[in-house]
Amino acid sequence: MIGIEVLSVFCGPGGQGGNTLAVVRDGAAVPGGRARRELAAALGHSETVFVDDARRGVVDIWTPSARLPFAGHPLVGTGRLLDVQVLHPPAGAVPVRRDGEFTWVRADPAWATGRRTHRYGSPAAVDALPAPPDGEGWLYAWAWEDEAAGKVRARGFPRRGDGIAEDEATGAAALALTHELGRALDIRQGRGSRIRTRPLADGSVEVGGRVRVLRGRAAEAGEDPTAP
């Protein structure tokens, strides 16, 4: 049996929005990169986390097509789920803190490379983009909603060709944008997700948001893991 929990990460104040995340609590039940990639593809979420050591916070992150050394929404979600102060994805140590309904992770902006940000003239222009826009490579489309208040409208397009046309909420891209702008942000992404960020004095960036547990289930070998 494979225990799978599904979370919604970066939810809005009323629980709307949020990017779904699958967490396999017992990573040893799915050994090897090929098996993990296949399960992540079958589940169909933008990312799936395999917990390889719950006590130490060692995790492995997969999209439906590739392994990621770092990703924001999987670490915020897993940070809420596990009782640890530090998570260890392949990129390095990621401190976790919880503040009421918010869970925060702190990371090096260099880990968020490969995500191009592009500023548009208005939130309406961002909303009008097709999913995905023409072109190749990760695109984080954004515009100011209220520049003085640090409020941003954004949409994220992986453009990996793996069936994920648009990311509902994207912590790594939000981290990259925060580093570029050098200021704290309140980001409204996707259908209703909210991401909060702030740059720190040491050059790292904190990314935080609300997390909801949607469901937990166990799948037997050979069973369709996407079945309700």
**pLDDT band, very low/low/confident/very high, at 215 (cuts 50, 70, 90):** confident
Same domain, 61 and 125: no
pLDDT tens digit string along 84-121? 999 999 999 999 999 999 999 999 999 998 899 999 99
Residue 72 lies in a domain: yes
Is residue 225 in a domain? no
- Least confident residue range of 17-21, 97-101, 199-203, 216-220: 216-220
Q: Which domain holds residue 29?
A: 2-95+211-219
Would residue 224 count as lying in a domain? Answer: no
Mean of pLDDT values over 73-86:
97
Give the active site residue among 5, 38, 47, 147: 47
Select from 210, 226, 160 the least CA-distant residue to 17.
210
Whether residue 130 sits in one domain with residue 60? no
Question: Are 130 and 167 in a shared domain?
Answer: yes
Residue 162 lies in a domain: yes
Q: Kindly report, residue by residue over 113-159, the tens digit of the pLDDT.
A: 889 999 999 999 999 999 999 999 999 999 999 999 999 999 999 99
pLDDT band for position 222 (cuts 50, 70, 90):
very low
pLDDT digits (tens, 9 = 90+) for 19-62: 999 999 999 999 999 999 999 999 999 999 999 999 999 999 99
129/198 same-domain check: yes
State how many domains the chain has: 2
Q: Which residues contact 207 (CB under 8 A, 6 or more apart)?
A: 72, 76, 104, 105, 107, 171, 174, 175, 178, 195, 196, 197
Does the pLDDT of residue 225 top 60, yes or no?
no
| Structure tokens given for 14 | 């009323």
Based on the fold, state whether residues 155 and 202 are members of the same structural domain.
yes
| Beta strand 138-146 pairing with 67-68 | unpaired
Q: Are residues 118 and 205 in the same domain?
A: yes
47 is catalytic: yes
| Average pLDDT across the chain, whole number | 93
Whether residue 155 is contained in a domain is answered as yes
The pLDDT of residue 217: 53
Q: Are 160 and 172 contained in the same domain?
A: yes
Whether 227 is in a domain gets the answer no
- Higher pLDDT, residue 71 or 221: 71
Cα–Cα distance, 65 to 192 (Å, whole number): 26
Whether 40 is covered by a domain: the verdict is yes
Q: What is the pLDDT of residue 8?
A: 97
What is residue 220's predicted lDDT score, i.e. its pLDDT?
Answer: 38
CATH number for 48: 3.10.310.10
Q: Are residues 15 and 41 in the same domain?
A: yes
Residue 157 CB contacts under 8 Å (≥ 6 apart), including other chains: 129, 131, 132, 133, 138, 139, 140, 141, 165, 166, 167
Note whether residue 135 is domain-resident: yes
Counting Cα atoms < 13 Å in the Cβ hemisphere of 36 gives 26
Q: Are residues 23 and 91 in the same domain?
A: yes
